[in-house]
Amino acid sequence: MIELQHLSKRFLDNVVLDGVDLRVDDGQTVALLGPSGVGKSVLLKHIIGLIKPDSGDVIVDGLHVPLLRRKELAELRSHIGYVFQAGALFDSMSVYENIRLGITDETCYRDDGYCTDRVRECLRLVNLAPEVAQKFPAELSGGMRKRVSISRAIAGKPKYLLYDEPTSGLDPVNADVIDGLIERLQQEIGVTSVVVTHDVRGAFRVADRIALLWQAKIRAVGTSEEILQSKDPAVHQFLERDLEMAVIQSESDDGSHV
**Closest separation between CB of residue 226 and another protein, Å?**
31
**Closest separation between CB of residue 248 and another protein, Å?**
29
Q: Is 156 in the site for another protein (CB under 8 A)?
A: yes
Q: Is 94 in the site for another protein (CB under 8 A)?
A: no
Q: Is 48 in the site for another protein (CB under 8 A)?
A: yes
Contacts of another protein in 101-120 (CB under 8 A) = 101-102, 104
Q: Is 88 in the site for another protein (CB under 8 A)?
A: yes
CA distances in angstroms from 257 to 75, 143, 167, 252, listed in the order given? 49, 19, 21, 9
Between CA 164 and CA 84 the distance in angstroms is: 5
Q: Supply the DSSP string of 135-178, one letter for each residue.
A: S-GGGS-HHHHHHHHHHHHHTT--SEEEEESTTTT--HHHHHHH
Q: Please report the beta strands in the chain, taking only residues with DSSP state E, as ranges in sequence order.
A: 2-11, 14-24, 29-33, 55-60, 63-64, 80-83, 160-164, 192-197, 209-214, 217-222
Q: Determine which residue in the list 25, 64, 74, 139 makes contact with another protein, applying CB under 8 A.
A: 74
Contacts for 258 with CB less than 8 Å, ≥ 6 apart: none
**Closest separation between CB of residue 167 and another protein, Å?**
17
Q: Determine which residue in the list 25, 26, 75, 240 makes contact with another protein, applying CB under 8 A.
A: 75
Of the candidate spans 57-65, 99-107, 166-174, 229-237, the one that interacts with another protein by CB under 8 A turns out to be 99-107
Q: Determine which residue in the list 6, 37, 67, 91 makes contact with another protein, applying CB under 8 A.
A: 91
Contact between residue 179 and residue 14 where contact means Cβ atoms under 8 Å apart:
no
Return phi, psi of residue 191, to 5°. Answer: -85, 160
Total interface residues for another protein by CB under 8 A: 23
- At residue 85, the 3 state secondary structure works out as coil
Q: By C-beta, is 75 or 188 nearer to another protein? A: 75
Q: By C-beta, is 169 or 180 nearer to another protein? A: 169
Contact between residue 163 and residue 87 where contact means Cβ atoms under 8 Å apart:
no
Q: Which residues bind another protein (CB under 8 A)?
A: 45, 48, 50, 73-78, 80, 82, 84-86, 88-91, 101-102, 104, 152, 156
